[in-house]
């Protein structure tokens, strides 16, 4: 819920004695599917105080913390469990309330979707790109620049076989950007992630879910759970789940059995209204939901045996870009990364 | 702000004694950039009652009403001015709270964006399509069917010259759907609109803004103003304003002078966070904002004289589809509509 000055009067936030300063309004681009939880947080604080007055005081439980590496720019506080985080959020300054800026971008030749996410509620406006493409990397960086974002991570869902990642070009132009890919992919990158890791950008984060089957190292990145994270949740599924389809399973350690299990255990278990954003679409769709795919996906609604048969009978041609794309993508599009040591995200 | 049961407990709405029924949660697809204003409405009612207790009672002012035609399925109540509407909304049943479902769709050959909007808070789930394309009309209808929407209108922003509209195919498959185009376009359609008209779907509506210049009859459709309409607002600009560009002005009654005035008076005057969705993009962008285009549009940030010179010097080739597309689109893609009388939206 965006709380702003409109039509000459302040709305909602004014009810609780909190008025946005004019200079705060002018600052930056606070747009594109944004959400603002200050108002919500204030109400939650009221409820929290009410609870405290009704029940004996007990220390809140703290969930497992994943320590950020020297590279990770996220605040440690935000790695606490959701309950703690939302309570703490009520004490954060207005400029630190998480607020998602989201852009979907398309590369026409390989029909690849790249996603830009940023926390524009954070003073540094930290951003990340998911699945950038070499041919459109300049466009993406231009947009990052226009929106005055600080690009922190360039992330791949897997080692793509149909295009060369834009990570290499991005790192050449912006050396501070860290590349990320899964450890299971056996590819080189600045940071390697595994299931359960969190990728923090400002006060927002992506959760890593392993979804192998299209390739051995595929992961799905899911926006965080909790009241201070975007609702509905958003999952970036790579080629594991496409809109009314899925990625092929006959190369790069693919396995139809594994893909079926991945989608059913890691994606279809998300809330039904979770927005699913794939790495590709060939029919012009841009987004789907868990509920839709559980009902209409022509492959993954079948039982496992039938799915296996469907995938075995696809008889697809040899991927025309694979011999060029995979070697480049194994080093995240940057040949000289080969000699560098990749660090895990969580140490 | 979506208010639902999550993680085993009811949130927010419970504070005000209003609990969503389980059967309400199960019903339909309540997803894709949805918003729910019941909670907001309840708070506004409280404020409204507070105001009444502090000031002398006076009858609320009612704005100009545009009567819907026999074709328009919108509720008359929703044509009242925003203040009245938001107050009345507090008395509406939960199932009638407006809730936008939004999908952006792409036709690769002509790089055209089609938009699907529906009010999934309304029991009938009424929907409309903006700028459907003949080649992808079947896809759009399939999605409408999957999402259990009732398609009411198929709308064009203008008489396109680069593709044939999907309106004809849609009306053939679903005869109850009404085609809409501007009266100024001189094209035939079931309903003709002019600046200031509202196109109602459930409790949501689009406002018509005249934006001639690319063609003589171009209009921009903007989601409604008011607390019960989507925030930030969304404007479907056709070819009047493209992302970091604009439509050509050398055919179909085009005028660079008029286009400049249209964009500056009808689009750049919208709130800065208004999301702008064009009819085309050739670089893979999907959305922009008023603020971005006012700052970065390489043509429309110039003064009018310079803009006129830029447009005069484009030296673009003759539009290759124009001789096929324009005659078809003048009858909204349905030749036999020629003999039928088109009705204005507002009578």
pLDDT tens by residue, A245-283: 999 999 999 999 999 999 999 999 999 999 999 999 999
- The helix or strand, by DSSP H or E, that contains position A130, with its residue range, turns out to be strand A126-130
Residue A197 pLDDT class (50, 70, 90 cuts): very high
Rg of chain A in Å (alpha carbons)? 21
CB B155 within 8 A of CB B132: no
Q: Coil, strand, or helix at residue A176? A: coil
Q: To 5 degrees, how large is the angle CA A47–CA A49–CA A53?
A: 115
The whole-number pLDDT of residue A74 equals 33
Q: Does any CB of chain B come closer than 8 Å to the CB of residue A81?
A: no
Q: Coil, strand, or helix at residue B229? A: coil
HSE, side-chain direction, 13 A CA sphere, residue B233: 25
Q: To 5 degrees, how large is the angle CA A145–CA A102–CA A201?
A: 75
Q: Give the A window 85-104 contacts with B, CB below 8 Å.
A: 103-104
Say how far apart CA A329 and CA B334 lie, in whole Å. 49
Could you say which of B40, B108, B289 has the minimum Cβ distance to residue A31?
B289
pLDDT tens by residue, B89-109: 223 334 467 899 999 999 999
CB B338 within 8 A of CB B188: yes
Distance from first CA to last CA of chain B, Å, rounded?
A: 36
- Tokens coding B126: 């009424």
Q: Is the pLDDT confidence value at A79 over 60? A: no
Q: Which comes out higher in pLDDT, residue B24 or A150?
A: A150
Say how far apart CA A146 and CA A47 lie, in whole Å. 40
Q: Which residue has the tokens 């992961």?
A: A219
DSSP codes joined into one string, B232-267 = S-EEEEETTSBTTB----SSTT--HHHHHHHIIIII
Q: Does any CB of chain A come closer than 8 Å to the CB of residue B286?
A: yes
Say how far apart CA B281 and CA B242 lie, in whole Å. 7
The reply to whether residue B289 touches residue A32, judged by beta carbons under 8 angstroms, is: yes
Q: Is the pLDDT confidence value at B58 over 60? A: no
- The helix or strand, by DSSP H or E, that contains position A193, with its residue range, turns out to be strand A191-193
CB A280 within 8 A of CB A157: no
pLDDT tens by residue, B262-297: 999 999 999 999 999 999 999 999 999 999 999 999
Q: What is the pairing mode between strands A178-182 and A191-193?
A: parallel
The reply to whether residue B139 touches residue A11, judged by beta carbons under 8 angstroms, is: no
Least confidently predicted of A20-29, A202-211, B241-250, B295-304: A20-29
How far from B200 is each of A154, A233, B104, B122, B224, CA to CA, in Å? Answer: 42, 29, 20, 12, 10
The reply to whether residue B2 touches residue A29, judged by beta carbons under 8 angstroms, is: no
DSSP codes joined into one string, B68-125 = B-SS--S-GGGGS-HHHHHHHHTTS-GGGS--EEEEEEEETTTTEEEEEEEETTSTT-
Say how far apart CA A186 and CA A165 lie, in whole Å. 16
Q: Coil, strand, or helix at residue B187? A: coil
Rg of chain B in Å (alpha carbons)? 21
Query: What is the average pLDDT value for chain B, to the nearest integer?
Result: 78
The reply to whether residue B147 touches residue A30, judged by beta carbons under 8 angstroms, is: no
Say how far apart CA A302 and CA A284 lie, in whole Å. 24
| Among A6, A15, A31, the residue to mutate for chain B (most B Cβ within 10 A) | A31
**Minimum CA–CA partner of A271 in chain B:** B6
Domains defined for chain B, CATH in brackets: 96-344 (3.60.15.10)
Residues from chain A that touch B143, judged by Cβ atoms under 8 A, are 285
| Among B9, B26, B32, the residue to mutate for chain A (most A Cβ within 10 A) | B32
Q: Give the B window 135-154 contacts with A, CB below 8 Å.
A: 136, 139, 143, 146-147
- Tokens coding B251: 């055919």
The whole-number pLDDT of residue B186 equals 96
Say how far apart CA A62 and CA A88 lie, in whole Å. 12
Segment A103-130 shows an average pLDDT of 98
CB A105 within 8 A of CB A124: no
Residue B199 pLDDT class (50, 70, 90 cuts): very high
Decide: residue A10, CB within 10 A, 0-12 exposed, 13-18 middle, 19+ buried: middle
Q: A227: closest CA among A29, A47, A30?
A: A47
Q: What is the pairing mode between strands A288-289 and A275-278?
A: antiparallel
Q: Please state the ipTM of this predicted complex.
A: 0.75
Count of residues making up chain B: 347
Q: A181: closest CA among A163, A200, A160?
A: A160
pLDDT tens by residue, A135-185: 999 999 999 999 999 999 999 999 999 999 999 999 999 999 999 999 999
| Cα A328 versus chain centre, distance | 23
């Amino acid at each position: 819920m965006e709380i702003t000055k409109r039509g000459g009067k302040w709305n909602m936030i004014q009810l609780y004695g909190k008025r946005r300063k004019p200079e705060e309004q002018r600052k930056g681009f606070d747009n594109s599917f944004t959400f603002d939880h200050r108002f919500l947080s204030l109400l939650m604080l009221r409820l929290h105080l009410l609870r405290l007055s009704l029940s004996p005081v007990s220390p809140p439980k703290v969930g497992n913390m994943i320590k950020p590496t020297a590279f990770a720019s996220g605040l440690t506080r935000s790695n606490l469990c959701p309950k703690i985080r939302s309570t703490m959020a009520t004490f954060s300054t207005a400029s630190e309330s998480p607020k998602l800026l989201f852009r979907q971008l398309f590369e026409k030749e390989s029909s690849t979707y790249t996603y830009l996410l940023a926390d524009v509620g954070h003073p540094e406006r930290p951003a990340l790109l998911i699945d950038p493409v070499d041919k459109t990397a300049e466009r993406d960086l231009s947009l990052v620049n226009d929106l005055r974002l600080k690009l922190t991570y360039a992330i791949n869902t897997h080692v793509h076989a149909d295009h060369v990642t834009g990570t290499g070009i991005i790192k050449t132009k912006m050396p501070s950007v860290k590349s990320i890919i899964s450890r299971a992919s056996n590819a080189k990158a600045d940071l390697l992630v595994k299931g359960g890791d969190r990728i923090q950008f400002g006060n927002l984060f992506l959760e890593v879910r392993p979804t192998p089957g299209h390739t051995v190292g595929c992961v799905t990145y899911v926006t965080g759970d909790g009241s201070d994270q975007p609702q509905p949740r958003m999952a970036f599924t790579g080629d594991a789940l496409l809109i009314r389809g899925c990625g092929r399973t006959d190369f790069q350690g693919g396995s139809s059995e594994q893909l079926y299990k991945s989608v059913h255990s890691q994606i279809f278990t998300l809330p039904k209204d979770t927005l699913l954003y794939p790495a590709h679409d060939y029919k012009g769709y841009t987004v789907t939901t868990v509920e839709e795919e559980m009902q209409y996906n022509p492959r993954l609604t079948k039982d496992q045996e039938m799915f296996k048969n469907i995938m075995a009978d696809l008889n697809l041609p040899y991927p025309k870009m694979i011999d060029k794309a995979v070697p480049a993508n194994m080093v995240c599009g940057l040949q000289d990364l080969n000699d560098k040591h990749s660090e895990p995200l969580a140490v």
